[in-house]
Structure 1
């Protein structure tokens, strides 16, 4: 339940005006408890403050040593947010959840993840960086703070009791999250990894990562200022995120970004649905093993196109020019009471350019301008063993000049596989 969670959001006065718009996207006034911890006071209008967590000013940390040559002393105050929140002595708290001001949470999915764990036990839950080098430099055992992490109440209390002494022992560390992990190591508590927390230590287009999301609930997205808007025809990054929340997250938060793979056998097309985000249509048959691997539409944290730079497998966008995917981004979403199904529509991204293809296969750009996906909401999907939903091509039809492909996404039937027939 949301009432059992208290959020601690790290923020700074310099970025507050722009980044508070990200918090407004996911924050639910009156239902959530939490605090934005700033380095300096800000003048927040009353009308805006009502849609945000309570603003607090972090305690002075000038008495703590900090010797890293390339870092910032702000890491000290940010590392103490959990402890400062514990000391507020709020009632009925089971989890302390940390994030940055440019971190967006999917609250329902956060609850789904935390409900899997006993809050009475010491848990430290989060995820690592996408960058192999970042993990080597800082630690594979560390929850990256911007990607968000959760600490159970008893562990948070233990951390608050010893953290100031612990911080004095690690003046040479760079950030706040590695200081948290150093203290966790002293407490003997390892990181419990969950792939739904996303640090996004990348640059460029998140398409490849989100279109092949792990089979796990999407919990957070971070570094939204550093990557392109998830919907390329959006006015801003915040507007793009609002489109996701006001439609798919509201209709079926458990299924957001979940990938399904199927085939239009007659046309020899591979179809990949990242529900609520994008549909990709590829000429030819590509195996599920390849399609579930993120395509390198992004650069790594050090701005190099190096496939060895990631802490997971990736693939090129297209091995053959003819296999460059045709992209259909979410344009609308609704729920039909009579059928109990969500209806999401995806429009072809017209600005996308494709190389000349000499394969004698139908051209998706000529035949399909819109993809319509029917899906029944499945809030209990993560109560079962993890399995990708199945996708079925219902029809490819022409209605006047509007060419549409219709798909159905849902729980796999007995014996159903995502394989070309």
Structure 2
């Protein structure tokens, strides 16, 4: 009965367009009233203690780092590097957008931030070169998902904290899947561009030009080296790496590239604070939601129910993936990870998955929701930049959803895609 009250009330609140964080809290209150064995003080304590975590402190700093580097001229230089490499081939401008999203993903840790930083430059550029705005908006929205797959990744931090898995191991596990997705997207773009007659920039590939662009973007390209090198070199933790990223971004934007002015800092900190407040509210509410479920023994019951459906691991993992895809369509990724990780990890362990590989599978399945209506946050950002309606972008995004599903299938079937750099453990 309490499970029915919790999920029905939560579903109804979402249908009424109540913000996800508030909907989670109200669903908890309804469950506490129905159960009558949990105090409201427990809910209040959970909302506070859930964000009182050293690893979670990395979230606001990575958000701030992404804002600083986006304003500091780093995204523009990353675009120049990508354009010098693939700009001359068929569909090269669209491929430039994909590669730039891959580069910027190693800075921001956020899908919508990646779409905003890259799309603001690349969507108008593609439109000027004859690409349809629907195609341009779709490819940037899809490539923006790399922002939460390539480290540093906010969902990886949340999954690591929730499941007790090493955040460092999760970061390194995202390298191959993100490169795989970028390659698959570029393959699709090449054949689509060839069919539609979308040419490249017309400039010949020149090593000198590439080296010049790389040299100009050297401070931007060093960001992932500093972050991941510091973590795996044992110099600092992922949380401390986030602080280093902020300091590095300020130095690069203000002193090295000199494009981040003091007047810009107010907007940078304001945007970062608003995003952080939203995410922290969701984390707190989702954690409280998950704790109420645990007290009512819902995770164990749901896991047992799923395992009792069939002994066939293919059927079980298919059920998990389908459930995650549906959840990603209607729920914020951060909240979904906190709520469903305790439910699904026991199922994954029973099926023989490594926690790191299983975490990457969960994140990738939920991330597809970034480009799937009705939530589709990347679609909303791309819509705002391109001036197109959500309906038009949603139609253009279908092929990219298929590409992402292929990548998800490969991650499930090939453990080394996530575990190779961890010694194939």
TM-score norm. by structure 1 comes to 0.24
Q: Which structure has the highest strand share of the two?
A: 1
Q: Which structure has the highest helix share of the two?
A: 2
Larger Rg: 1
Q: Which structure carries more relative contact order (alpha carbon 8 Å, separation 6+)?
A: 2
